[in-house]
Amino acid sequence: MSKTRQLPYSQALMELEQIISEIETEDVDVDVLAEKVKRAALLVKLCKTRLRNAEEEVKKIMAEIEVDSNQGNEPVEDDEPVVE
């Protein structure tokens, strides 16, 4: 697995922001610019994938909660007394 795929979302986003800042504020050599843009594109793809996966997971959890509540199986919190 590549190092980019192992990056947590927050680190990928931070690196992407750093690249954008460098491109906007520095006089970047064309060869270096191409490498920075290539890296930024990989980071954008990674972040989009992670966000899409998180969204799907949240939708799945919300659907499970909806099914449980429709069946009267609402989860009981530990500090709530169980009424029988």
Q: What is the pLDDT of residues 35-56, one digit of tens each?
A: 999 999 999 999 999 999 999 9
pLDDT, greater one: 25 or 10: 10
Least confident of 4-8, 52-56, 63-67: 4-8
Instruction: Give yes or no for residue 21 having a pLDDT over 70.
Output: yes
> d(Cα 5, Cα 15) in Å, to the nearest integer?
13
Section 50-69 average pLDDT:
93
User: Domains along the chain?
Assistant: 3-68 (1.10.287)
- Prediction pTM value: 0.69
